[in-house]
Structure 1
Amino acid sequence: MESSPQAAELPPPPVHVAIIMDGNGRWARSRGLPRTAGHKRGAESVRRTVEAAREMGVSYLTLYGFSSENWKRPASEIADLMGLLRLYLRNEIANLHKNGIRLKVIGERSRLGPDIVRLIEEAESRTESNVALTLVLALSYGGRQEIVEAMRSVARSVASGELSPDIVDETVVGSHLFTSGIPDPDLIIRTSGEKRISNFLLWQGAYAELVFIETLWPDFGRAELETALRDFHRRDRRFGGAR
């Protein structure tokens, strides 16, 4: 698919775009449909957005697919979401690989089903050499939990004598996060009009630009991504420095 004229006018894209995909339930409810229908349409939006990000030249795209708090949802909804995840991992990986997209999953894998963990490992292994785009799926992920686990890992290294507490700095902490080796996001987008980050990339997003879009996730696509990138390029990023 060719890029739209609007996309051609965009400056170089941010290296790393992260998206909080929100609004599947509201999309379904507004149409008198079960929440499952919203999640299914949301999966189609994932496909569109990944394709658009790759074509626009984004290097890293992180999608908040399932938070650690989402485990509190009704068991039937969790089962539906896990079923969609299985389908995605089985059916989409060949397409990702064909398009040069690398898949990486971050989050607490121990809470996922063994078959899902196996599918994730197979998909990561199959696509690990791809360079067109790195797609990061945050599954069973929470920013606070990630930082806690990183601190535990650092503490173990200090206790064992492998690491001196005097050299623990931001770089050391970052190397113990799920996202080690991945640049921090330049832009975090949230759909559905909500204006909060919901425990997403708390450490990594310290200087990310935030864009909040009214569009519900199942309706999100290339046009909305372009709009967010235009907003990003209007920002004056000083990273705490003076104007």
Structure 2
Amino acid sequence: MLSAVKSAVYTVYARRLTRELSRASLPRHVAMVMDGNRRWARQNGFHDAKVGHRYGAEHLDEVLVWCRELGIHHVTVFVASVDNLRKRDTDEVDNLMLMIEDVIAQRLSHPAGVWQVKTAGRVDILPDSTRHALKLAEEATRDRNSGFHLNVAVGYDGRDEIVNALRALLEAGSHAGRTLDDVAERLTADQIASHLYTSGQPDPDLVIRTSGEHRMSGFLLWQAAYSEFYFCDVHWPGFRKIDFLRALRSYAARRRRFGS
């Protein structure tokens, strides 16, 4: 009985938040740090971190449905950093890669899907099977014209991204026969942005991090320069729709200053 009452109250509250947001200015691009999978598993009595990664990967499907329903056309999710892949136990990393292959890449590639997938990160440090699965997901979704774009950040480091963008910019200038002085003199922020993983997409308006951590961990260092931030105490697998709607409500209530 109590569970039914809680469910009814949750449904009513979610509907009220959705009505409020129907009149609000919503972000075009939401970035999310999907943190807390392992802690969620421990809190729920699971002794294996693999369970948390499985629930976390599967939960992405649901969150993307919420974004689509609300008309949020650009989403970037932080799945794993370079440090995550290098410093965590081999078994845990192997399982995380399997979740990316079997859950994220495979489901996003389904013909009924709407999201156009792009990988953001050092694919060269990923296992061959993971790199192949993400490549297939990109190819399978490349021609989708729904307008919904998903960036999957895995093997990602924000400083590496900026360094690689500058390297690509210098290489392009060299191939065009331009001198280093000429490239430097004409260098603009837009030119650098055009070589980032999110090239052609708007910068994130809102960055959400779950699990209560109040840091960025090198996520979208360039793109998030003027983003609004929302830190949520719940772990990623337990991130509910009302938590997402509250984040959007908080964003809508803010007066964005863009550095001023």
TM-score of the aligned structures, taking structure 2 as reference length = 0.86
Of 75-84 and 119-128, the range deviating more from structure 2: 119-128
1:136 counterpart SS class:
strand
Give, in angstroms, the shift of residue 91 of structure 1: 3.6
Which residue, 40, 44, 64 being the options, matches 1:27?
40
| Partner residue, 1:211 | 230
| Structure 2: tracts of 5 or more residues without a match | 1-13
Task: Say yes or no: does 1:105 pair with 2:119.
Answer: yes
What do residues 10-69 of structure 1 show as CA deviations (whole Å, max 9, x unaligned)? 024210000011111111122331111111111122111011111110010110011111
Which residue, 35, 57, 60 being the options, matches 1:46?
60
What do residues 111-165 of structure 1 show as CA deviations (whole Å, max 9, x unaligned)? 1122222222221122123224211110111101111111222233344534632
| Structure 1: tracts of 5 or more residues without a match | none
How much is the aligned-residue C-alpha RMSD, in angstroms? 1.7
Give, in angstroms, the shift of residue 195 of structure 1: 0.3
Task: Say yes or no: does 1:202 pair with 2:213.
Answer: no
Q: Distance in 1 between matches of 2:44 and 2:173?
A: 55
1:231 partner letter: S
2:61 counterpart SS class:
helix
| Partner residue, 2:140 | 126
Give, in angstroms, the shift of residue 8 of structure 1: 3.2
1:164 counterpart SS class:
helix
Contact 2:36 2:235 in 1 (8 A): yes
Sequence identity percentage: 37
Q: Distance in 2 between matches of 1:183 and 1:7?
A: 24
2:131 partner letter: V
Runs of 4+ with >4 A deviation: none
Number of equivalenced pairs? 238
| Partner residue, 2:74 | 60
Q: Could you say which structure has the higher helix fraction?
A: 2
Structure number, greater radius of gyration: 2
Q: Distance in 1 between matches of 2:104 and 2:59?
A: 15
Q: Distance in 1 between matches of 2:37 and 2:101?
A: 18
